Amino acid sequence: MLTHPQFDPIALDIPIPLLDKHLQIHWYGLTYLVAFGLFLFLARLRVKKPWFAQAGWTARDVEDLLFFGVVGVVLGGRLGYVLFYKPAYYASHPLEVFAVWKGGMSFHGGLLGVVAAMAVFAWLRQRHFWQVTDLIAPCVPTGLASGRMGNFINGELWGRAADPSLPWAMVFPQAGPEMMPRHPSQIYQFLMEGLLLFVLLWIYGRKPRGLGQVSGAFLFGYGVFRFIAEYFREPDNFLGLLALNMSMGQWLCVPMILAGAAIWAWGSRQPVPTVAAGGRA
């Protein structure tokens, strides 16, 4: 049985003598920076694919996509948490909606925010929405993996109680005085909806696919992996388990899985982009 290392959440503490203050950089902020950097790197590789290059995609488009995506994930993640998890509380404390430094972000809300941002981008650039999301979908899981590492470093979003004989069962002291062994569910999510989903989507997206198929595969794959991981993750204490003993995260994954399967099936009937002579898929 292991014990969480209790990392200092502050990665860098830089003194500023002239102001008699310190510039503190948190690990969680660095994981966001890593996520954005990985997106830039991977999306620039994606736009070099012949079917994207022939459609006029450039590295500059990737930079603009990142800007739109950052705005979407921050606004959507916060509003999703407010609306999905604590609507009554924030209805009574509306000004705290803006207190993002107190925590509270929802992946599902962030996803909706990114979808909205990509729709705006597609409209402004006169591109097909599904072409935009097919481009970025394989570049997203590495960012999710980075975020889960941030959760683990912070010792938050810990797992449910585990058998003490489980070699990687871990005690999270911040989870309560009972010091019970738990599943390190952040690592499970890092491996499944992060690394594994990235590998599967990157391989699947190496060849031209029908419009929307890569996007559908992302929604379906994330929904399935997150649904599984939720069985090992401690439900939010202010919600607990809901109908059918499923967590809020699992219920939010159900429409993702169904929508992903439907979009993929629709995309399978769309024409596959052709590669001009001399291009490599």
Least confident span in 31-45, 81-95, 137-151, 209-223: 81-95
Average pLDDT, the chain: 91
pLDDT greater than 90 at residue 125 = yes
3-state secondary structure of 269: coil
CA angle (262 as vertex; 138, 267 as ends), nearest 5? 60
Number of domains within the chain = 1
Q: Is residue 231 part of a domain?
A: yes
pLDDT value, residue 41:
97
Output the CA torsion 181→31→194→273 (10° steps): 170
Known binding-site residue numbers: 148
Q: What is the pLDDT of residue 122?
A: 97
The answer as to whether 276 is a domain residue is: no
Q: Domain for residue 250, yes or no? A: yes
Please name the amino acid found at residue 124: L
pTM attached to this predicted model: 0.89
Of 5-14, 184-193, 198-207, where does mean pLDDT reach its minimum?
Answer: 5-14
**Is residue 281 pLDDT above 70, yes or no?**
no
Q: Which of 114, 124, 115, 128 lies closest to 52, judged by CA?
A: 128
Residue 11 belongs to a domain: no
Domain membership of residue 134 as a residue range? 21-267
- pLDDT tops 60 at residue 191: yes
Category of 49 on φ-ψ map: left (φ > 0), alpha (ψ -120 to 50) or beta: beta
User: Residues of the chain with pLDDT > 70: what percent?
Assistant: 96
In the prediction, which pLDDT does 274 show?
83
Asked, for residue 108, whether it belongs to a domain, the answer is: yes
**Residue 15 belongs to a domain:** no
Residue 277 scores a pLDDT above 80: no
Other CB atoms closer than 10 Å to residue 170's CB: what's the count? Answer: 23
- Average of per-residue pLDDT across 164-183: 94
For residue 4, is it within any domain?
Answer: no
User: 247 in a domain, yes or no?
Assistant: yes
pLDDT at 82: 86
Q: What is the mean pLDDT of residues 151-155?
A: 93
| Res. 147: pLDDT tops 80 | yes
